[in-house]
Chains A and B, each alone.
Chain A
């Protein structure tokens, strides 16, 4: 499988309004040197908590924010070299599903018009009848009643809105769909439906998915490989099963340990076993390893030297001490 998407040393920074007239502008380093590759038909899960940069990663890949450093390649071509028309044409193959289902749909358009928009943009020659047919087909594929196509987003529930968003993202049968927290805003019983739908669509259409979430249990359920972000840096990446059975980075271990468990005995013991302290502010990341301020295994080297991603087969970790920690 050839690489669909290759990200190397990606860094994104936001300029913040200055404190005073004479102060230098502050920069928030949302992503700092992230590299990975995504193959066709594969799901890469991206996990992390607030401030880790996962949403910024999604936006950078889709061209919604410019990178400060690094390269994003699609099918071997550097995205930065593409002109606007080519960038827009990429919309056929590279799509997104957002977190808030209702906000991602234009409130003045009907469901049918929303799902038809990609067709109207990229395949206008199809004609109204053909477009209507493909819209109905897309709605059926995501489990929506095609007779609802004249309804407006506010008339649907959250789960249904997300189905409309997924229909819109897949109507052109793209190669990659970036899912930015696609189920976080939904009820638990609906989350399972949408997760199943995404996996089904992946199998049916051969999609690659970049699945971003803070919910490790769901990420594990849909991903072939998982990448863990902390404060804009990639701390661990590897096959999902290996990552769960033998997590190497202390942060990954903490995330797995903090997973809610519906078993009173294990949950009772797990409580309070979360990490101490708060995630540091992205404005002032700790020196050396970003995680050292909350890591029980931090030593002097962790303060002075920033760890690089060390590959070990398919599983890579950015930690000085991962071999030594039991």
Chain B
């Protein structure tokens, strides 16, 4: 997604190239993420869209050094000048606590059920910022208030199961913000929440002056919150570009298919929904040709034998499809 401006532009905050994530399994190595390249500019809200098996979560877990023990990441990932994949574990951990934060998907499992909220929040501060107990608690209360939790002092004393889903998600966001990161990565931040509460959380994230990456499968989140998007399928990026363009004119048949498959209020009810036949491939099934070809309505012979390389179309959009119109 390189800008066509000729003048000097601000450097990307996160730049990923040739990223590949492999897992060693008893049946041989399995590639969860392949040949991924993208940039995140300061102030961007990048949405990463994909279904199960697309590798969208593994991609960011790899960047933060959080892969399972049998996982391995190869490639380049530069964050503020440092290569994340080349850093030793301790340095990566320090960086991740300080400048990059991740909010995980399920608030219930991401919080330790045996510790009070106060302990989990102040732990971050005492470890990374070296604050003492009292100042840490004050800072934690202030942060809870900032994320919109009423009566923060009282809530600090509670355990995770005593809070509602929306509040737990706010606590996770508060934990992520405590060290004032430059980049916030949120994995499905609204999926586990009621639809009437989702808007509140998105509004909260909207107000934060951070660069953000939101991993989601929800087009509504993409539309309302993100300015750029990556669409992933079977471990690769199939389309990327500004959100408006992507939604108005999707170039890749998978993106177009997904958009058509969502029931919309302006469609007549009880008509068959347009579907994408078949199902997303398992990471272990790597064949030749385009991974989407078996399900693609416009696939031709070339698609089954030659894997399409990503190419830039219209200056801003990158598509990996032989048939995408220029």
Q: Hey, which bits of chain A sit against chain B, CB under 8 A?
A: 49-50, 157-160, 187-193, 195-196, 199-200, 214-218, 220-223, 240-241, 244, 254-255, 258-264, 266-268, 270-276, 278-279, 281
Interface residues of B in 244-271 (CB under 8 A from A): 244, 247, 257-259, 261-265, 267, 269-270
Interface with A: B87-95, B99-107, B193-201, B315-323, which one?
B193-201
**Residues of chain A with a CB closer than 8 A to B200's CB:** 272, 274, 276
Q: Do A189 and B220 contact each other (CB < 8 Å), given the known contacts A255-B196, A271-B225, A279-B164? A: no
Q: Are A259 and B195 in contact (CB under 8 A)?
A: yes
A245 to B, closest residue via Cβ: B265
Q: Are B272 and A199 in contact (CB under 8 A)?
A: yes
> Closest 9 CB pairs between A and B?
A260-B220, A274-B199, A267-B224, A272-B203, A267-B223, A49-B194, A262-B219, A192-B261, A187-B51
Q: Do A188 and B258 contact each other (CB < 8 Å), given the known contacts A50-B194, A255-B195, A261-B220? A: yes
A266 to B, closest residue via Cβ: B223
Q: Compute how far the CA of A67 lies from the CA of B221 in the bound complex, rounded to whole angstroms.
A: 39
Interface with A: B24-32, B128-136, B275-283, which one?
B275-283
**Residues of chain B with a CB closer than 8 A to A192's CB:** 261-263, 273-276
Q: Compute how far the CA of A255 lies from the CA of B269 in the bound complex, rounded to whole angstroms.
A: 18
Q: Out of A158, A195, A258, A281, name the residue touching B195 (CB < 8 Å).
A: A258
Q: Are B199 and A49 in contact (CB under 8 A)?
A: no
Q: Compute how far the CA of A262 lies from the CA of B255 in the bound complex, rounded to whole angstroms.
A: 12
Q: Are B164 and A264 in contact (CB under 8 A)?
A: no
**Residues of chain B with a CB closer than 8 A to A273's CB:** 199
Q: Name 15 A/B residue pairs within 8 A (Cβ), A-sorted.
A: A49-B195, A49-B196, A187-B279, A189-B258, A191-B261, A195-B263, A215-B195, A221-B263, A221-B270, A244-B265, A260-B220, A261-B223, A262-B220, A262-B259, A262-B262
B166 to A, closest residue via Cβ: A278
**Residues of chain B with a CB closer than 8 A to A221's CB:** 263, 267, 269-270, 273
Q: Are A270 and B199 in contact (CB under 8 A)?
A: yes
Contact with A along B197-218 (1 / 0, CB 8 A): 1111011001000000000011
Q: Compute how far the CA of A291 lies from the CA of B143 in the bound complex, rounded to whole angstroms.
A: 29
Q: Do A275 and B259 contact each other (CB < 8 Å), given the known contacts A241-B269, A262-B220? A: no
B206 to A, closest residue via Cβ: A271
Interface residue? B52 (CB, 8 A): yes
Q: Compute how far the CA of A263 lies from the CA of B219 in the bound complex, rounded to whole angstroms.
A: 9
**Residues of chain A with a CB closer than 8 A to B203's CB:** 271-272
Q: Compute how far the CA of A50 lies from the CA of B193 in the bound complex, rounded to whole angstroms.
A: 9
Q: Do A258 and B223 contact each other (CB < 8 Å), given the known contacts A189-B51, A192-B261, A244-B265? A: no
Q: Compute how far the CA of A254 lies from the CA of B195 in the bound complex, rounded to whole angstroms.
A: 9
Interface residue? B12 (CB, 8 A): no
Q: Are A189 and B202 in contact (CB under 8 A)?
A: no
**Residues of chain B with a CB closer than 8 A to A279's CB:** 164, 194, 196-197
Q: Are B263 and A157 in contact (CB under 8 A)?
A: no
B274 to A, closest residue via Cβ: A192
Contact with A along B47-77 (1 / 0, CB 8 A): 0000110000000000000000000000000
Q: How far is the CB of B241 from chain A (nearest CB, A)?
A: 13
**Residues of chain B with a CB closer than 8 A to A276's CB:** 200
Q: How far is the CB of A28 from chain B (nearest CB, A)?
A: 15
Q: How far is the CB of B62 from chain A (nearest CB, A)?
A: 22
* Residue from B217, B219, B269 whose CB has the most chain A CB atoms within 10 Å: B269
**Residues of chain B with a CB closer than 8 A to A195's CB:** 263, 273
Interface residue? B165 (CB, 8 A): yes
**Residues of chain B with a CB closer than 8 A to A214's CB:** 194-195
With A188-B258, A200-B272, A271-B203 given, can you name 9 additional A-B contacts, CB distance below 8 Å?
A50-B165, A157-B279, A188-B51, A220-B263, A244-B265, A260-B195, A262-B219, A266-B223, A267-B223
Interface residue? B40 (CB, 8 A): no
Q: Compute how far the CA of A92 lies from the CA of B219 in the bound complex, rounded to whole angstroms.
A: 40
Q: Compute how far the CA of A267 lies from the CA of B35 in the bound complex, rounded to whole angstroms.
A: 32
Q: How far is the CB of A298 from chain B (nearest CB, A)?
A: 16
* Residue from A187, A189, A217, A244 whose CB has the most chain B CB atoms within 10 Å: A189
**Residues of chain B with a CB closer than 8 A to A199's CB:** 270, 272
Q: Compute how far the CA of A306 lies from the CA of B129 in the bound complex, rounded to whole angstroms.
A: 52
Interface residue? B156 (CB, 8 A): no
Q: Do A274 and B195 contact each other (CB < 8 Å), given the known contacts A189-B275, A221-B270, A261-B223? A: yes
**Residues of chain A with a CB closer than 8 A to B223's CB:** 260-264, 266-268
Q: Are B219 and A260 in contact (CB under 8 A)?
A: yes
Contact with A along B138-179 (1 / 0, CB 8 A): 000000000000000000000000001111000000000000
Q: Compute how far the CA of A157 lies from the CA of B126 in the bound complex, rounded to whole angstroms.
A: 44
Q: Are A218 and B275 in contact (CB under 8 A)?
A: no
**Residues of chain A with a CB closer than 8 A to B279's CB:** 157, 159-160, 187, 189-190
**Residues of chain A with a CB closer than 8 A to B257's CB:** 189
Q: Out of A216, A223, A274, name the residue touching B198 (CB < 8 Å).
A: A274
**Residues of chain B with a CB closer than 8 A to A263's CB:** 223, 247
Q: Compute how far the CA of A210 lies from the CA of B39 in the bound complex, rounded to whole angstroms.
A: 46
Q: Are B270 and A222 in contact (CB under 8 A)?
A: yes
Interface residues of B in 275-310 (CB under 8 A from A): 275-277, 279-280
Q: Compute how far the CA of A268 lies from the CA of B243 in the bound complex, rounded to whole angstroms.
A: 12
Q: Compute how far the CA of A300 lies from the CA of B22 in the bound complex, rounded to whole angstroms.
A: 62
Q: Out of A196, A272, A281, name the residue touching B272 (CB < 8 Å).
A: A196
